[in-house]
Homo-oligomer: A and B are copies of this chain.
Amino acid sequence: MSAAMTEGTPDRPPTRRPGGRNARVRARILAATAELVARDGIAGFRYEEVAETAGVHKTSVYRNWPDREDLVVEAMLRYAEDLASVADTGDIHRDLVDFLVALAGGLATPFGQTLEQALLPARQSTTLRQALGRILEERVAAMRVRVDAAVERGELPPVDSSFLGEMVSGPVHLVVNRGTRPFTRADADRIVGVVLAGIRATAPHA
């Protein structure tokens, strides 16, 4: 809503930013790709439809992403960024609960489900899976930063942060992927409570 945020609208295109127009075209193409991949799956989307949805010429898509797999991967990475952030309010329990609630929301979307499916080993090329693995690595890295800070402040005993990440997010994936009941904040709270208590109770010098 601020002046800064409307700077890049079609009404007042910025003139000083190098590559501004192409950056906007690329962003529209990536958004359209993410939308179509969520609807039709990775194998199903077509460049023509991407161009149409993005409101750009088909050659813009081909010129920017001659390789179909590169386009899918970049679209997924871009739209999965929201799933990779862990806030630091100083309260590790609360921050992990917030993370799990956001994760569940993201996984429940068509795009999240496409990501989940794309990661199943039997279904995709090794190249694509490795690239999609970067999304997970970013999430693990965000988790590591947050957990290390908690250890540093004495909130938690020293702990393997990727193990902790698997322990808290595994049940979320399971509940959301089954789709038999909604994942609630109370679920997140109970999961984090048990995992943090278990990590404290089993720490060598707890």
Contact = CB atoms under 8 A, between A and B. Distances in A.
A167 interface: yes
Interface in A157-176: 163, 166-167, 169-175
A204 interface: no
Interface in A110-156: 110, 113-114, 116-117, 119-123, 129, 133, 136
Contacts of A121: 113, 177, 179
Interface in A165-206: 166-167, 169-175, 177-180, 190-191, 193-202
Contacts of A174: 166, 169-170, 173
Contact of A194 (B120, B136, B171, B198): B198
Say how many copies of this protein the assembly contains: 2
Contacts of A195: 167, 194-195, 198
Contacts of A201: 197-198, 200-201
Contacts of A167: 171, 191, 194-195
A136 B178 contact: yes
Contacts of A169: 170, 174
A-side interface mostly: helix
B119 A178 contact: yes
A114 B166 CA distance: 22
Interface of A: 110, 113-114, 116-117, 119-123, 129, 133, 136, 163, 166-167, 169-175, 177-180, 190-191, 193-202
Given A196-B198, A197-B202, 17 more contacts: A113-B120, A113-B121, A116-B120, A116-B177, A119-B179, A121-B179, A136-B178, A166-B174, A166-B175, A167-B171, A167-B191, A167-B194, A195-B195, A197-B197, A198-B198, A198-B199, A198-B201
Which A-B residue pairs are the 7 nearest by beta carbons?
A198-B198, A170-B170, A170-B171, A194-B198, A121-B179, A197-B201, A113-B122
